[in-house]
């Protein structure tokens, strides 16, 4: 009996690995984000040292730092906190001169499991690999079949509608409405207080290692910028870190009409404009090590 169970478990694991390696399983959004985040962290460990690192969430990941690849590394992680990126930097084999820390979503936890997975043998040799348990594979097949029968597009996508079409605009408007509701509510003060204390400990650790830390508030949709939650986070970071340089969303959005893809994430056009406004700061940071 024990032998049969052991064989069955071994076959299940082997099947899941084969599905993952062949990529024949339909990857869920969550698995895709995990794989991308894991590969971003794994690549960080393998590259030559850079002067600048950006630690943040998917808002940071959406910013295109094209032209500065030899100087800066983007540790923006989808669905994660800047705390995860800070932990990657602190435990890494090399130290940047400057770490820009995104402050937009401070309530999220650092993801130790994600950091650990990026150091695995499979992650380093098979970047597209995501383990797919058989039961998950079957659930994905069923979910995909149901999705094809749905007539309402999923929030967060354009439902196949071309960009710029009325349908895509309706989806973006719906996503913005959802974010408007979310940002009307402040974070619980106890949660924010605890997370700010954690940020303080980890930022001080970076500083003790000789790194300069700059706080970065990325622009979101103008309708959300002065919302109760955005204002609360902005004000509390300024109070908690009076000694740190804080680059505000207002500075980065100066002269721009920020559209966003969904209320939160910058479009390519937004990203180019924000990078132009950020350019003087980035150029100074990139020259530091050479000097």
Domain coordinates in residue numbering, the chain:
40-110+164-287
What is the per-residue pLDDT for 79? 92
pLDDT, position 16: 52
Q: Band of the pLDDT at 176, cuts 50, 70, 90?
A: very high
Nearest residue to 278 (alpha-carbon basis) of 74, 58, 49:
74
What was the pLDDT predicted at 30?
Answer: 77
Mapped onto helix, strand or coil, the DSSP state of residue 72 is strand
Asked if residue 164 has pLDDT above 80, the reply is no
CATH superfamily of domain region 40-110+164-287 = SGNH hydrolase (3.40.50.1110)
pTM, entire model = 0.79
Question: Which H or E run contains 102?
Answer: strand 98-102
Q: Residues of the chain with pLDDT > 70: what percent?
A: 73
pLDDT at 85: 97
Residue 6 has φ and ψ, to the nearest 5°, of: -65, -45
Backbone Cα Rg of the chain: 21
Q: Percent of the chain having pLDDT more than 90?
A: 63
pLDDT over 80 (residue 206): yes
pLDDT value, residue 243: 96
pLDDT of residue 127: 53
290 neighbors 184 (Cβ within 8 angstroms): no
The pLDDT score that the predictor gives to residue 242 is 97
How far is Cα 40 from Cα 33, in angstroms, rounded to an integer? Answer: 11
Residue pair 33/80 in contact by the 8 Å Cβ criterion: no
Q: Is pLDDT larger for residue 258 or for residue 120? A: 258
Q: What is the mean pLDDT of the chain?
A: 82
Look at residue 122 and tell me whether its pLDDT is greater than 80: no
Nearest residue to 60 via CA among 47, 78, 48, 36? 78
For 173, 218, 257, the CA distances from 156, given in Å and listed in that order, are: 11, 20, 21
Tokens of 265: 């994430």
Confidence of residue 291 (pLDDT cuts 50, 70, 90): very low
CA distances, 197 to each of 61, 106, 109, 203, 204 (Å) = 25, 11, 13, 10, 11
Query: CA–CA separation, 210 vs 231, rounded Å?
Result: 31
Supply the pLDDT for residue 210.
96
Average pLDDT over every residue of 187-208: 97
* Residue count (the chain): 291
Mean pLDDT lowest among 16-25, 199-208, 254-263: 16-25
pLDDT tens readout for residues 8-46: 555 555 555 555 544 444 567 777 888 899 999 999 988
Q: How confident is the model at residue 143 (pLDDT cuts 50, 70, 90)?
A: very low
Q: Residue 1: its pLDDT value, please? A: 58
Q: For residues 72-92, b (16+ Cβ closer than 10 Å) or e, as one string? A: bbbbbbbbbbbbbbbbbbeee
Please report the pLDDT score of residue 124 as a whole number.
55
Q: Is the pLDDT of residue 98 over 60?
A: yes
């Amino acid at each position: 009996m024990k032998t049969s169970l052991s064989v069955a478990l071994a076959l299940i694991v082997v099947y899941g690995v084969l599905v993952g390696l062949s990529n024949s399983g339909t990857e869920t959004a969550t698995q895709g984000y995990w794989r991308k985040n894991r590969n971003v962290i794994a690549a960080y460990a393998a590259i030559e040292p850079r002067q600048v690192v950006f630690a943040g969430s998917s808002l940071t990941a959406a910013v295109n730092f094209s032209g500065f690849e030899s100087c800066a590394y983007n540790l923006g992680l989808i669905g994660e906190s800047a705390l995860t990126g800070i932990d990657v930097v602190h435990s890494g084999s090399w130290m940047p001169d400057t770490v820009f820390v995104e402050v937009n979503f401070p309530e999220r936890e650092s993801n130790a499991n994600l950091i650990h997975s990026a150091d695995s043998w499979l992650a380093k040799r098979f970047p597209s690999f995501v383990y797919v348990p058989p039961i998950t594979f079957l659930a994905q097949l069923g979910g995909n079949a149901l999705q094809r029968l749905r007539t309402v597009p999923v929030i967060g996508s354009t439902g196949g509608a071309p960009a710029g079409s009325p349908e895509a605009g309706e989806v973006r408007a719906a996503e913005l409405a959802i974010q408007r509701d979310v940002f009307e509510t402040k974070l619980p003060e106890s949660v924010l207080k605890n997370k700010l204390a954690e940020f303080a400990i980890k930022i001080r650790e970076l500083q003790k290692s000789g790194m300069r830390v700059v706080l970065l508030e990325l622009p979101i949709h103008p309708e959300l910028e002065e919302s109760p939650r955005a204002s609360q986070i902005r004000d509390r970071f300024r109070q908690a870190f009076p000694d740190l340089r804080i680059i505000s969303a207002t500075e980065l959005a100066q002269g721009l009409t920020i559209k966003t893809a969904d209320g939160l994430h910058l479009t390519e056009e937004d990203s180019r404009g924000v990078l132009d406004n950020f350019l003087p700061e980035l150029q100074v940071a990139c020259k530091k090590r050479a000097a």
